[in-house]
Structure 1
Amino acid sequence: MKRLMTLLLGIAALTACTSPQPEQHAKNELRAPAYPLVTIDPYTSAWAFQDNLYDGSVRHWTGKNFPLIGVAKVDGQTYRFMGAEELELSTIVPNSEQEDWVGKYTVAQPAEGWQTMAFDDSRWKEGKAAFGTMENEHTAKTQWGEKYIWVRRTIDLQEDMAGRNIYLDYSHDDDVIIYINGIKVVDTGNACKKHAQLKLSDEVAASLKKGKNLIAAYCYNRVGNALLDFGLMVEQENYQFFEQTAEQISVDVQAMQTYYTFACGSVNLNLTFTAPLFMDNLDLMTRPVNYLSYEVSSRDGKKHQVDLYFEASPQWAIDVAHQKSMADSFEEGDLLFLRTGSQSQEILKKRGDDVRIDWGYFYLAGKKDNTTYGIGDGKALRNGFLKDNLEAPATDGYDKLVLVCSLGETKKADGYLMLGYDDIYSIQYFGENLRPYWNRSGKETIASQFLKAKDEYQKLMKDCAAFDKKLMEDATAVGGRKYAELCALAYRQSIAAHKLVEAPNGELLFLSKENFSNGSIGTVDITYPSSPLYLLYNPELAKGLLNHIFYYSESGKWTKPFAAHDIGTYPQGNGQTYGGDMPVEESGNMLIVTAAIAAVEGNADYANRHWNTLTTWTDYLVEYGLDPENQLCTDDFAGHFAHNANLSIKAILAIASYGYLADMLGKTEVAEAYTNKAKEMAAKWMEMADDGDHYRLTFDKAGTWSQKYNLVWDKLMNWQIFPEKVAETELAYYQTKQNRYGLPLDNRETYTKTDWIMWTATMANDRTTFESFIDPVYSFMNETTDRIPMSDWVFTDSPKQRGFQARSVVGGYFIKMLEEKLHAK
């Protein structure tokens, strides 16, 4: 079917959307681990994982491809400046999502040689893939909840695979080892991935003969979820049309914008990705539309024929690449829209961590007056661009979207595209499906959002540039240039790891997703480290981080005398799904952030609405907080333990928070009683934790130490619960424990949490000490070999992540700026 509409081909450069002159700012010199491109929410979040924008595919924060290709054609020559042509793969051995397959399996340690064809597996059980925890993994068809599993899959190939490029497609949770015909091809260690793809070596490919072959796998289920699935794919030939690349001249990450500059033959190309995430305008902040602006200019003073090609894949709107999609186009006002989405449209049915959205629709939109478009087979569209003819046949459910902006013969021209997503419903909240905040009334349309974005383009470009400039200046003033550059990179990452909706009772729900840590929604120990960014720019959003937890308790759905950990697994917020409680941790977090809201707003009205709940939590901390029992906390990466000194500080300062709030509410006797209690506990803490020149990790273990980052609130709120010498003693000791890439979390391991380092650094009273903790974090981000959106859990003795990525907790980097705001009051 013909899917082409040509709109004024070959016209001169666009005149109706001349880009405004951006506010001049100082370039961010940080070589980001990954560069933010499109940042709307946890699902529509696209990044460049490499130095040059054209060195690889644009990716979702999980690492899955979000193919977005950009090519400039200058006087007939093409220069690819963005993305890479999608690897075309055909299935030869399907995984369980493509087709049912059956394997032999055992959960008991098998004899040696289990991974070879000659092994006798007649005593093994038989089951349908995937193997996993069926209550948590929607693809699992055979229940596997034990610690280990061994699986053998015999496959029948129709031809030899020698000389072909073969890829193993595999999903696992957690550690997996995979053999093909007895040859080890994968050994991940502690990791969890879905649809990872690995090109097989020539040796392994040559072992795949016509007839019977064997794929054998072992998987280790470390904690709650378990999953194992795999298949084989072969690379198709002749899929590359744009091998010549532009030359990237620069890249610069600011808070709301990422700037690129390229040389494309005889012209320069400036490319800017913009997400207008203004937290004082929630309708704008949640508008699900980002901008991709372009400006071309002649390098030799002559006119040149310029056309820009932009291609998006349906992978923006599906979870895994083999899902079938639909695509179409329409016009509204002076905009041309291209749209793609899954055929199934199972709204809010999937939940989990390494999962992408497969309901709703992705949109690519541009002005009609200089644009041609095509929908269909990607190879045909690319070849058609080369030949000035975007005719393309439809595919079997995998049509690509292409917009071509024809700038004509020009010395200088500019314009923009818009990318957006309509998820229809965003969150399931205790059984009720909630619309995104921008459409909370149900009366808006995605087209209306794009048209508003078009009308406000000129103003927003100026406003975004001005905001970026001011943020960098303000952060530099309080923490130095390196601190400021880290904050600029953290800004979009933190916001886009949340979804804002309106609760049935009208309250804001600003719900985080635990990106690559377990997928929980609205986790309190994600809220706590994230909160400084939102306390700084809009305390209503800080309330939105807490409202669901207050409701969970006050509705009677959560009946324990301490705060819940979460309300489910994203995007289903129907009740806690995390396997363990964190009583002291989460209650302390809720109380401290509530007190910080009061400090920012200058009143305790919000706390007063939840006074009975806060009282219950505080009394729990009075009884159990000083010397916590063996319970989970946010720093239990090396194992949880009793008598945690830093967790005790949190409990003490949470009790102080309650006293502070009571005082603001005129409850003088209550304020005095709880404030004195906090000071009494602090004095006992000093005796129990004292280890000479520092304070212990746990009260019962001499010779141990840990970051006491929770102390920062005593300084920020000026409570004076602990003597200043506690922080001074700790900071001096930490100086002796720093490694190249930062201060370890405690004495047990060399890894750290970068958000907590920011909090520890903010305990310092002088810039030199503060920067001594920040500089190693900057070095890590600048040098890490793990090219992913910033990780907050990293090693301090090597430039490697330990886990986590793209999490909202980097909002905690703004705590130094928050201190300035609080102390200016």
Structure 2
Amino acid sequence: MKRVLFALLIILAVTKANGDPGDFRPPAVPLIVFSPHISVWSFSDNLTDSDTVHWSGSPLDFHGLIDIDNTQVYRFLGTLPSNVPRLIQKKVVVQPWRTIYTFSTPDNTVELVLAFSQPTAIEDPYTYITFNVRALDGKAHNVRLYFDEGPMLGLNDKNEKVFWSRTDDNVTVLTMNAYNQIPFSIRGDATRNNWGYAHLIGPNKTVTNGYQGFGDNLRQAFVNHQAMPSDDTRKPRPAHDQSPSSAFIINLDQVTSQTISSYLIFLFDDVYSMLYFEEWQPPCWRTELNNDPKQLIQEAISYYESNMADITDSNELLITLLTNIGGSQYSLLGSLVTRQITGALTRTWSDKQNRSALYMKEISSDGDVSTVDVIYPSSPYFLWLHPEMLRDVLIPVLAYANNETDIHYNLAWAPHHLGTWSVCDILPDEQEQMPMEESANMLLMLAGIVQKLNKADFLQPYWDVMEVWAQYLNSTLPDPGNQLCTDDFEGPSPHNCNLALKGILGLGAYAILLNSTGQAQRATTYMNQAQDHANYWLKAARDDQNYRLQYDLPNTWSQKYNLIFQSILSLNLFPTDTAKLESNYYASKMLDFGIPLDSRSKLTKADWTSWVASFSDDLKEKDVIFGKLYKFANESPDRMPLSDWYDASNGHVLGFRARPVMGGIFIRALLESPLVDNIYIKSKQSSKRHGRVNKCTTS
């Protein structure tokens, strides 16, 4: 009965998706995305058109086959064996925490619904792979499924040696890992862990059998209805040498019109997740579960039912909220990027600090750890759904700036980042210096967190640091001079009006922080100074119909996306018609795929465009701009996880992919649906987690 129940959950998830997801063609489809390293995507319309890959495009292959009545085998995942015909893909639906593919046989006798379901708690490093099969022709059919995982999930390079093993206790666990493991021996952007253990788990031994060996041999034996080969013992060996695989065969026996469901679990244990200034930090779940991956595996199985119900409820809630706010296209965009955002995060445990820590990888634009001007554009997602997570990702940055590490931080402005993933060790003078950008970013986000949580106790150790940043802003405003801003691909922009705008609002944010702790007199002083700078800005930045790109460049313009934080924080430094004037001007610059970033070129940024879309009180105007972002996601000729940097005239990606900055599109939800400010989606993050010693969940 339970197998039928959870098959119905998947089917319900398909039929209750708001809008028509069948008409949406994602540029890439998230499958298994729960960390920067374990990030598996399909870059094709059909799951059989290409093999699955990492966000960077490097191979992370999975394969799936189905055998009907011991006579006909079809492919439903991957390109191998190439001579095996494909199932017909009917639909793909991408939800926030689940991706669902629907297939049928060419003769329409059997349907397969394949779902990749990610628990909503970021501490859970696993994905459920669920197979739901039913007969469509009123007859009974004998059905077997084959599913395998290639060797690269625990490697960075195909020349590395891979080792494999199995355990066959109450469940079958097939494990693959790098043979020579040295944590943190590699670092960078498109690199992956070559330490840790990739587990493919078959929870039900009565219907699943596991095998390990040369993937081509395993698949061919299944296709030819032959006895499966014994486990390969020629190990370790390079991953490219008769590429080994872990595989399961699931025997569903007789399938009728009543759906039969079975599942596997992919789980990754990286043992150590982050090297934070010489402290080796394990994933947080290891601290809760006594460093025992067997407990995590058992937990993933034992809580399958509650996790699947939670995923279904959370998807339905978030999709409904987004649809009510911005319509079906807005909901589909939000669903597409949710795992892209959370998949850039890693939560660890620090023995030194006796607390959990959260880190964000920049992804694709660089391999930096916790880049402040990447956290900033992602912040609307967290401020709307879970401000505690935004607080937690900023605390390691605050600690570094506050000299709580073994590196002396001596700059008068906020850090740019902490190091190169997954090692935090950068010296202050090695930073990409963005003094006004990062100082204001930190103060703006911290003020947003304090307002949402209605408490500022976590800031107690950091007031001296924030005071230094505020004094820097005040001394540099109203003209930031020749500085880099977050749009550093444009190079330094002297007298940048949008950057000055950020600094002014950042100073106002510091006044909010002071007020939150009863420092009313100092708050008033800083707010008055911010107002003086704003008054200067309004005159010096003004052009005939808009505000300039730079103070000294008439007849120029730029997206003043930073102005949106005035609405987020309820500041009143700029008149309300400032945003309206800009919004009206942007409408005259609209291209096929959005609004250019500024008057210098046709390039645009999707995150910032979503912010300026929220300038307008006119819902139709907002819908038009978000419709352009949807058009880019749906029609861009470049297939990759959603990019935020592209040509607004033709939809071609200019760079960047899979970045968490796409949390910026939740700005509309943050501003228009305040009733959920402090309510996170129904997940284990906001409740007692499975009876564990609760260290990873924050409040």
Provide the TM-score with structure 1 as the length reference.
0.77
Counterpart code for 1:405: I
User: 1:576 & 1:247 partners in 2: Cα distance?
Assistant: 54
Q: State the secondary structure of the residue aligned to 2:420.
A: coil
Task: Confirm or deny: 8 A CA contact 1:53 1:81 kept in the other structure.
Answer: yes
1:349 equivalent in alignment to 2:349: no
Task: Confirm or deny: 8 A CA contact 1:644 1:697 kept in the other structure.
Answer: yes
2:96 to 255, 267, 273: 255
Q: State the secondary structure of the residue aligned to 1:637.
A: helix
Question: Which residue matches 2:683?
Answer: none
Question: Which residue matches 2:687?
Answer: none
2:105 to 261, 264, 269: 264
Q: Deviation per CA, 1:557-591, whole angstroms, max 9, x where unpaired?
A: 21111101011000001225855211100000000
Question: Which residue matches 1:802?
Answer: 654
Task: Confirm or deny: 8 A CA contact 2:505 2:565 kept in the other structure.
Answer: yes
Q: CA 1:824–1:402 in structure 2 vs 1: closer, same or farther (change >3 Å)? A: closer
Question: Which residue matches 2:30?
Answer: 36
Give the gaps of 5 or more residues in structure 1: 1-12, 86-239, 279-284
User: 2:169 & 2:529 partners in 1: Cα distance?
Assistant: 64
Number of matched pairs: 652
Q: Deviation per CA, 1:13-61, whole angstroms, max 9, x where unpaired?
A: 9969853534533253421100110011000010110000111101110
Per the TM alignment, residue 331 of structure 1 is displaced from its structure 2 partner at its CA by 2.5
Question: Which residue matches 1:531?
Answer: 379
Question: Which residue matches 1:489?
Answer: 336
Per the TM alignment, residue 425 of structure 1 is displaced from its structure 2 partner at its CA by 0.3
2:154 to 307, 317, 333: 317
1:60 equivalent in alignment to 2:54: yes
Task: Confirm or deny: 8 A CA contact 2:34 2:118 kept in the other structure.
Answer: yes
Question: Which residue matches 2:615?
Answer: 763
Task: Confirm or deny: 8 A CA contact 2:4 2:261 kept in the other structure.
Answer: no
Q: State the secondary structure of the residue aligned to 1:661.
A: helix
Per the TM alignment, residue 242 of structure 1 is displaced from its structure 2 partner at its CA by 4.8
Q: CA 1:558–1:822 in structure 2 vs 1: closer, same or farther (change >3 Å)? A: farther
User: 2:375 & 2:141 partners in 1: Cα distance?
Assistant: 52
Q: State the secondary structure of the residue aligned to 1:369.
A: coil
2:490 to 638, 641, 645: 638
Question: Which residue matches 1:408?
Answer: 253
Provide the TM-score with structure 2 as the length reference.
0.90
Aligned residues: percent identity?
Answer: 32
Per the TM alignment, residue 321 of structure 1 is displaced from its structure 2 partner at its CA by 1.6
User: 2:392 & 2:48 partners in 1: Cα distance?
Assistant: 38
User: 2:281 & 2:336 partners in 1: Cα distance?
Assistant: 30
1:715 equivalent in alignment to 2:551: no
Question: Which residue matches 1:81?
Answer: 76
Q: State the secondary structure of the residue aligned to 2:638.
A: coil
User: 2:377 & 2:33 partners in 1: Cα distance?
Assistant: 20
Task: Confirm or deny: 8 A CA contact 2:277 2:425 kept in the other structure.
Answer: yes
Per the TM alignment, residue 528 of structure 1 is displaced from its structure 2 partner at its CA by 0.4
Bigger strand share: 1
Counterpart code for 1:404: I
Question: Which residue matches 2:225?
Answer: 387
User: 2:461 & 2:330 partners in 1: Cα distance?
Assistant: 37
Q: Deviation per CA, 1:341-381, whole angstroms, max 9, x where unpaired?
A: 11111211100112111111111111211111211112211
Counterpart code for 1:809: V
Per the TM alignment, residue 475 of structure 1 is displaced from its structure 2 partner at its CA by 1.2
Q: CA 1:624–1:660 in structure 2 vs 1: closer, same or farther (change >3 Å)? A: same
Task: Confirm or deny: 8 A CA contact 1:752 1:793 kept in the other structure.
Answer: yes
Counterpart code for 2:197: Y
Larger radius of gyration: 1
Per the TM alignment, residue 641 of structure 1 is displaced from its structure 2 partner at its CA by 1.8
Q: Deviation per CA, 1:770-806, whole angstroms, max 9, x where unpaired?
A: 1121111110110011111110111101121110001
- Equivalent residues in 2 for 1:691-770, closer than 5 Å: 691-770=543-622
User: 2:521 & 2:255 partners in 1: Cα distance?
Assistant: 76
User: 1:327 & 1:764 partners in 2: Cα distance?
Assistant: 57
User: 2:638 & 2:63 partners in 1: Cα distance?
Assistant: 23
Q: CA 1:651–1:823 in structure 2 vs 1: closer, same or farther (change >3 Å)? A: farther
Question: Which residue matches 1:648?
Answer: 500
Counterpart code for 2:313: A
Q: State the secondary structure of the residue aligned to 1:19.
A: helix
1:359 equivalent in alignment to 2:353: no
1:50 to 36, 40, 44: 44
Q: CA 1:804–1:670 in structure 2 vs 1: closer, same or farther (change >3 Å)? A: same
User: 1:650 & 1:483 partners in 2: Cα distance?
Assistant: 27
User: 1:55 & 1:14 partners in 2: Cα distance?
Assistant: 33
Per the TM alignment, residue 394 of structure 1 is displaced from its structure 2 partner at its CA by 4.3
User: 1:714 & 1:811 partners in 2: Cα distance?
Assistant: 18
Question: Which residue matches 1:327?
Answer: 164
Question: Which residue matches 2:366?
Answer: 518
1:544 equivalent in alignment to 2:392: yes
Structure 1 segments, 4+ long, off by >4 Å, are 13-18, 392-395, 576-579, 821-825
User: 1:705 & 1:506 partners in 2: Cα distance?
Assistant: 48
User: 1:16 & 1:822 partners in 2: Cα distance?
Assistant: 38
Q: State the secondary structure of the residue aligned to 1:599.
A: helix
Per the TM alignment, residue 397 of structure 1 is displaced from its structure 2 partner at its CA by 4.1
Task: Confirm or deny: 8 A CA contact 2:477 2:533 kept in the other structure.
Answer: no
Task: Confirm or deny: 8 A CA contact 2:415 2:431 kept in the other structure.
Answer: no
1:440 equivalent in alignment to 2:428: no
2:139 to 302, 305, 310: 302
Task: Confirm or deny: 8 A CA contact 1:599 1:822 kept in the other structure.
Answer: no
